[in-house]
Structure 1
Amino acid sequence: MWPYEWDAATSQREAIANARLIAAAPDLLEAAKNFIRWAEEPADGSVGMAREQGWLEQARAAIARARGEQDGGAS
């Protein structure tokens, strides 16, 4: 039993949103990799906030999942 009632219009919207996300995945991965490069060697020393907020580790984890290096579950 589904946790929600099936709706063709919602299902189609979700399928379109998923397709767009899948299409954007390579660009998102590249952006995350660029962020990591910037954070590891910032020209202006501004990486502090990225580390404090956990963004650096979040980006590293997302890249690892995209590469199949972890399953996305708790370690």
Structure 2
Amino acid sequence: MAALSIRDLDDSVREKLRLRAARNGRSMEAEIRAILASAVAEETPRTDLFHALVDRFSQLGGVDLEIPARNTPPRPAVLPE
């Protein structure tokens, strides 16, 4: 495994890392490893149109539409031969 040194880390960042590690029951080193592993984990990108639209507009909320009652029975589809 590789070793990594971080220079010029702000004292407030170090303190926040220490507190976060304590909350998660880990050493600071283990917490930093978990943070880095999570940051570089590959996400499967959604490339289809449906998910792109959902991602884009989901924050706007949904719409409740009234669906009218059907007055006629459904017909079978007639397909050309």
Name the TM-score, length of structure 2 as normaliser: 0.24
Say which structure is richer in helix: 1
Q: Which is greater in Rg?
A: 2
Higher relative contact order (CA 8 A, sep 6+): 1
